[in-house]
Every structure is written in C-alpha cells, then in structure tokens.
Chain A
C-alpha cells in the first residue's frame, strides 16, 4: 500500500482565494481524520469521518472550512475564502475501525501559505 496520500504538498495562495486539499486514505481504513499543525497551537483535530460520514467537526475553525468524503477512497478539505491565519500544515490520517485499534497512519501533509 502507498500509505495515506495527500495533495498538493505545497500550496501558496493569496488571501480570499479558495483552497482545496485532497486525501486518499489507506484502503480498508474506516476512519479518516484531518489535523492542522501550527507552531502556536500544535496539532489540532479539525474533523473526522467514520465510513464516509462526518462524526465530529467541532474542531473546524469557522464556516470558511468545510470537509467532504464522497467515497471511501477520497476526502477534501476546503477553505473559502482563505486568510493568512490559515497558513499551516494540514495532515490527513486514517485508521481501521474497532475501538481498540486507534493507531493512525498519517500522510506527508499539505503545507499551505496564504499571503
């Protein structure tokens, strides 16, 4: 398996533009997570899905952020409109189902810079 695949690896955009980050989880993993990493706040959980259904989006900063998982092999995190404070590294992670198996496999991350 190629692991969790994220794209793009780097994105530089201007304030007000729409940003879409993409993630392909490991095949067979039932859970998908989006995290954001900054120096100030560390690694924050934004939202997670179970079997393609959003379960908890309480970590999403505001309405400018939205996430979808149309099928088991693809998820997007969209920011519209983007702001400089959204600059961060965004990670996608996935894991198998089962309450005792919560070891995550992370993607390489998407580094977003909003000018």
Chain B
C-alpha cells in the first residue's frame, strides 16, 4: 500500500498564483522528500525535509512538515507556466531510508 498520498490529485491555477499541495503519510519517517515529474520524463528531486525540521525553503518552494499530524505541504509561490508538472512526496517507510511514493498531484499553470 502507498505510504504517502498527495492531495489534491489535480490542481489548475493561473500564472502568478500560489500552488499548495499536501501529503499525508501513515508511519513514522526519517525524512520526507518532494519530487517533480514533467510529462514523459523521470522524477527530479526538489527538496528534502528531515523529521526534526518544521519548515524549509528553496527558491520559490516552501515545505512544511507536521509529524504530529503525519502531513507535509509544498507551496510554490508566484507560479509560472513552466511549473506545470506532477509533484510527488516520498517518505521512507518505517524509517528504512527507502523512499516510497504517492500517486502525485498534477499541477497545471495557465499562462
């Protein structure tokens, strides 16, 4: 079964708006990662947040982690058409450091 699940499954916004995606997971983790997948391509790592961290930033990306709620969010600020992609969270199931992925959120940013 999936360890992490993203929500919503699909998100459609206008360029310049912020995009927020959420990830919920089931068991304790060492860290949580977010990846991006452009159509027809492999996944690309965006950001990793450790279990003892609550928030992390990278450029226009902001990730939060709430271990008490077993959830994370990915915020993309001032979105661009080039941000159109699927976004996946990955958690290391049972502290194994082996990433397992959710089904992803499909983001469409309209120019």
Contacts and interface: CB of A to CB of B under 8 A. Distances in A.
- Place the interface of chain B in its size category: 20 to 34
Interface stretch (A12-20, A61-69, A71-79, A101-109): A101-109
Interface in A92-112: 93, 99-100, 102-109
Contacts of B88: 43
B53 to A, nearest CB: 13
Contact of A102 (B35, B97, B103): B97
A42 B106 CA distance: 12
A109 B38 CA distance: 12
Contacts of B97: 99-100, 102
B103 A105 contact: no
A95 B42 CA distance: 15
Interface of A: 4, 33, 35, 42-43, 45, 48, 56, 91, 93, 99-100, 102-109
Given A45-B98, A102-B99, 15 more contacts: A35-B101, A42-B101, A42-B103, A43-B43, A43-B102, A45-B101, A56-B98, A99-B30, A100-B30, A100-B97, A102-B30, A103-B45, A105-B45, A108-B42, A109-B42
Interface of B: 2, 30-31, 33, 35, 41-45, 48, 88, 90, 92, 97-104
7 contacts: A35-B101, A42-B102, A45-B98, A102-B30, A102-B99, A107-B42, A109-B41
